[in-house]
Chains A and B, each alone.
Chain A
Amino acid sequence: MAEKVIYAMYDDDDVLKDGAKKLVAKGVKISEVFSPFPIHGIDPIIGIKNTRLGILAFIYGITGTMLATYGMRFFMVEDWPMNIGGKPNFTYLDNMLAFIPITFEFTVLCAAHGMAITYLLRNKTLPGMPAQNPDPRTTDDKFVMEIRLSENSSFSAEQLEGMIRETGMIELDQKEIK
């Protein structure tokens, strides 16, 4: 179903942030902000929760630690114990010091790649995906606020436009999106 959306464009990040604060105070729901760089402090204003990717990175890392530990125990102690330079290989603890570098490297490997892949999937940014920014200038020097009429049913389109015009925006656009 087609939906009416208002795009308000700004040419300064601080103006947009102040505008967003005023609009939110009046009860307007801002569904999205597009910007060429991260605007610090915009997330709590428009109600975006902090990402939980950090927790995931920790889980991926721990998985890597366990895999490396299990793998090296299996290879070096259980499956084919090697006597290297007379150093015993009967238990994992005998040789643990030699296993630390690879355990560390594998932890970092899993945490970094696991998080990076999750990040790309969650953002739906993958090779060949179509661009979704409403205006090509939002990756250069313009900042766009997206307000959906369906999420602001208590206001009419004219009321919303009137309120947005007071926030120092430079361009206003109404579009229908699917």
Chain B
Amino acid sequence: MHKEAAIREPLILGHKTYHDVTEDVCKPIEDKAPRMWYILFGIALIIGLYGVGSILYLLGTGIGVWGLNKTIGWAWDITNFVWWVGIGHAGTLISAVLLLFRQKWRMAINRSAEAMTIFAVFMAGLFPLIHMGRLWVGYWTLPLPNQFGSLWVNFNSPLLWDVFAISTYLSVSLVFWYIGLIPDFATIRDRAKKPLSKKMYSILAFGWSGRAKHWNRFELVSLVLAGLATPLVFSVHSIVSFDFATSVIPGWHTTIFPPYFVAGAVFSGFAMVQTLLLVMRKAMGLEAYIHTKHVEYMNIVIMVTGSIVGVAYLTELFVSWYSGVEYESYAFINRFSGPYWWAYWSMMTCNVISPQLMWFRPLRRSLLFTFIISIVVNIGMWFERYVIIVTSLHRDYLPSAWSMHYPSHIDIAIYIGTIGLFFTFFLLFARYFPVLALNEIKTILKSSGESYKNAPDHSHDNHSNH
């Protein structure tokens, strides 16, 4: 068995047995949903449906219902796309990268973080699709021979790389998540009393029985998928950043974009995980599994990635001056002192200053403070994308083409609507799916559980060939 230093804080508080872990996670699924769940679900669903209605209106009328114009051809749509993809990054980072680094604290949060990833990438995918205007010809982005001749999609274009990157990322995350869920669905299946839920969970559990050989395969598949997902995480947001970086627009044409976007994505993703988990642990009584130590670890990640983002902002400013290119330096002077100064300085305050507060131990261990900062960070990260996209476009080379972007109510409705849909999905997940990775939590109970760890007489044998 794996030993852990006594000085490390336990990851599972209290005196839990294997059965207690099962009980704690399955109870909220088997019990009746609390009234609060219905209220939240209702609100999220109404907002989500309003968004769906707005999308349908857009599809029926055309992209003109957005506040775009000839100079600013990309605005809220792509901002929202990048924002959601970025949020999605935390889930895979937690489950894949932290698995490779053998970080055990990931086990309490990976399941819900991955669910968040999948729903966030759904929301992200919506934006380029509806931006096509004719959603039903979305399949034209795939390399299919078409009836108008032998013209293929352009494999030199980062927009096509995006199609491959996002769809690979979404489908691989989904598979990774589901393979981990199968044994936990089996646990719920074997506990289910009502015939309908028994039937549903039997289908979802794929007949999992927990044989030693299956577990052997399970562990290898998880490891290899983690190994594949790790470079995938970094590649996806790099490719998203290529959408901008390979263009010749001052403010976009920057080699720093890929690492800067990846750090920003992890930064915003962890902030969203904090927002969701701080509420979920309380509502579902999981305080013993997701506690201050987990929050602190995540805050450290937020602090590190936030600092990387801060350095990237300053590097960008410096290089725009150092390059000696007039257009390049104007793009950045315009960013912080032009008509969009408020967006730039909101971004700087939210993303550069707020994560630095995490250097203070009492602050990064305070749940309320973390919750507030997590929302501030996500607001800041939305502004970052808005600043990059809109301020780089709105002042063209020709002053006669200069323009401003004012969002229409459809812009706002679709954005708010995706937040509603995201929470609708997440609430359904929290209601019907095991929100903690049961089988993984059980493997660390003896090494990181409080009652086992601090037991005075540790009588377990240590001659295992681990």
Q: Which residues of A contact B (CB under 8 A)?
A: 14, 17-18, 32-44, 46, 48, 50-51, 53-54, 57, 61, 71-72, 75-76, 79-80, 82, 84, 87, 95, 98-99, 101-102, 104-106, 108-109, 111-113, 115-116, 119-120, 122-133, 136-141
Contact = CB atoms under 8 A, between A and B. Distances in A.
Q: Closest 5 interchain pairs by CB?
A: A129-B207, A141-B18, A136-B190, A125-B206, A38-B215
A141 B19 contact: yes
Given A36-B18, A37-B440, A87 B155 contact: no
Range class of the B interface residue count: 35 or more
A125 B207 contact: yes
Contact of A128 (B168, B190, B203, B218): B203
Given A37-B439, A80-B151, A101-B164, A128 B156 contact: no
Contact of A101 (B154, B207, B239): B239
B210 A139 contact: yes
Interface of B: 1-2, 17-19, 22, 143, 150-158, 160-161, 164-165, 168, 171-172, 175-176, 179, 182-183, 186-187, 189-191, 202-221, 224-225, 228-229, 231-232, 235, 239, 242, 438-440, 442-443, 446, 460-461, 464-466
Contacts of A87: 156
B171 A113 contact: yes
A121 to B, nearest CB: 11
B209 A136 contact: no
A130 B143 CA distance: 40
Nearest to B2: A40
B48 to A, nearest CB: 27
Given A102-B160, A104-B231, A120-B206, A131 B186 contact: yes
A41 B231 CA distance: 30
B466 A39 contact: no
B224 to A, nearest CB: 5
A151 to B, nearest CB: 15
Contacts of B221: 53, 115-116, 119
Contact of A141 (B17, B165, B440): B17
A16 to B, nearest CB: 10
Contacts of A51: 213, 216-217, 220
Contacts of B202: 128, 130-131
B156 A95 contact: yes
A122 B216 CA distance: 12
Contacts of B461: 14, 18
Contacts of B210: 34-36, 133, 138-139
A106 B22 contact: no
A51 B464 CA distance: 20
Contact of B164 (A105, A116, A141): A105
B460 A14 contact: yes
A113 B243 CA distance: 27
B465 A127 contact: no
B18 A140 contact: yes
Given A37-B443, A108-B228, A101 B161 contact: yes
7 contacts: A36-B183, A38-B218, A41-B466, A109-B171, A119-B221, A127-B204, A133-B190
Nearest to A97: B156
A41 B225 CA distance: 22
A34 B217 contact: no
A112 B17 contact: no
B225 A115 contact: yes
A42 B212 contact: yes
Contacts of B168: 105-106, 108-109
A37 B204 CA distance: 18
Given A101-B235, A125-B206, A139 B183 contact: yes
Contacts of B153: 75
A51 to B, nearest CB: 5
Contact of B179 (A14, A54, A61, A116): A116
Contact of B161 (A105, A131, A137): A105
A26 B224 CA distance: 36
A17 B466 CA distance: 12
Nearest to A137: B190
B156 A36 contact: no
B22 A108 contact: no
Nearest to B1: A14
A36 B212 contact: no
Given A104-B235, A105-B168, A132-B207, A48 B213 contact: yes
Contact of B217 (A98, A99, A122): A122
B203 A127 contact: yes
Contacts of B157: 84
Contacts of A104: 231, 235
A127 to B, nearest CB: 5
A138 B191 CA distance: 11
A38 B439 contact: yes
B209 A48 contact: no
B434 to A, nearest CB: 11
B190 A131 contact: yes
A138 B187 CA distance: 8
B217 A37 contact: no
Given A35-B212, A112-B229, A129-B206, 12 more contacts: A14-B460, A14-B464, A34-B211, A37-B442, A54-B220, A57-B224, A75-B143, A101-B242, A104-B235, A126-B207, A128-B202, A136-B191
Given A125-B208, A127-B203, A102 B161 contact: yes
B439 A43 contact: no
B466 A40 contact: yes
